[in-house]
Amino acid sequence: MDRRKFLKLAGLSVTLAGGVPGFLNREVKARAYTPPPGALTARRWGMAIDVKKCWEEPNCNECIKACHHLHNVPDIPDKKREVKWIWKDEFEHVFPDKPNEFNNIIFTHKPFLLLCNHCEHPPCVRVCPTQATFKREDGIVMMDYHRCIGCRFCMAACPFGARSFNWVDPRPYIKDPNPKFPTRMKGVVEKCLFCYERLEKGKMPACVEACKKKALIFGDLEDEHSEIVQVLKSRFSIRRKSELGTGPSVFYLL
């Protein structure tokens, strides 16, 4: 079933050609969140990715390895059934609205890091019929696996392809399980959660800590004194499909 049919089943009007879907930039009510003592807090968490620093180690996947090990992401060899929380792709797929003959020369075969954009107006939250996916006050778009019924409305609504569906039982594909983080089951959707469980312990996301080149900058987008805001003020950055109005919280520094 294509995206249009999914969204119609969810009772949403769509304009997939010649305009911006109206539901994408509508306000989503955030859930209240009380952080535990010692937690890292923010009014709106966000991430900036310095792509030039990332390119200095083109074959480095330490951020992906750290994330996937910590969160028990299965290593499924079948590309049609793979599960991804953080991954890499080429410019033409990451920014399909921005290529031109010159960009293609500059960015050809260059890896761009991808993950959930934790949108300010997340369409995935709006379409979820069970509230299995929801937005917290600090901007993190969460998943409650116990409430997920596998309808995949959120996957159809997400314009970034940032969600994966467990077509098979993922547990046999986890080589070194982390007992401190729950494994999932067949029939549920999953994605990056900005390492909420590490933030609650006063730690930065695993991908940020694992990056050898310090290419990932994580912080409060609503704190003018935070490192991420200072970097975004001084460097040119782009966001994926920003014209849709979802308000991605992941920025790419060029």
**Number of folded domains in the chain?**
1
Q: Is residue 66 part of a domain?
A: yes
Written as one letter, the residue type at 30 is A
* 106 is a domain residue: yes
CATH code at position 175: 3.30.70.20
| Residue 45: predicted pLDDT | 98
Tens-place pLDDT, residues 157-177: 999 999 999 999 999 999 999
Q: Assess contact for 45 and 248: CB atoms under 8 A.
A: no
Q: How confident is the model at residue 208 (pLDDT cuts 50, 70, 90)?
A: very high
CA angle 49, 163, 75 (to 5 degrees): 90
List the alpha helices (DSSP H) in the chain: 3-9, 51-55, 62-70, 91-94, 101-107, 123-127, 153-157, 196-199, 206-210, 227-234
Query: For 106-157, what is each residue's pLDDT tens digit?
Result: 777 788 999 999 999 999 999 999 999 999 999 999 999 999 999 999 999 9
Is 218 inside a domain boundary?
yes
User: For residue 24, is it within any domain?
Assistant: no
**Each residue's pLDDT tens digit, 188-206:** 999 999 999 999 999 999 9
Query: Which domain covers residue 88, as residue numbers?
Result: 45-253
- Separation of alpha carbons 58 and 203, rounded Å: 26
- Provide the mean pLDDT of the chain: 89
Q: Is the residue at 5 inside a domain?
A: no
Contacts of residue 70, Cβ cutoff 8 Å, sequence gap at least 6: 178, 181, 195, 206
CA 234 from centroid of its chain's CA atoms: 24
Check residue 23 and give its pLDDT. 53
Per residue in 76-86, pLDDT (tens digit) is 999 999 999 99
DSSP for 98-132 reads S--HHHHHHHTT-EEEEE----SS-HHHHH-TT--
Domain for residue 54, yes or no? yes
Place of tokens 């929801």: 134
Please indicate, yes or no, if residue 163 is contained in any of the structural domains. yes
Phi first, then psi: what are they for 90, rounded to 5°? Answer: -85, 160
Nearest of 117, 169, 124, 115 to residue 143 by alpha carbon = 124
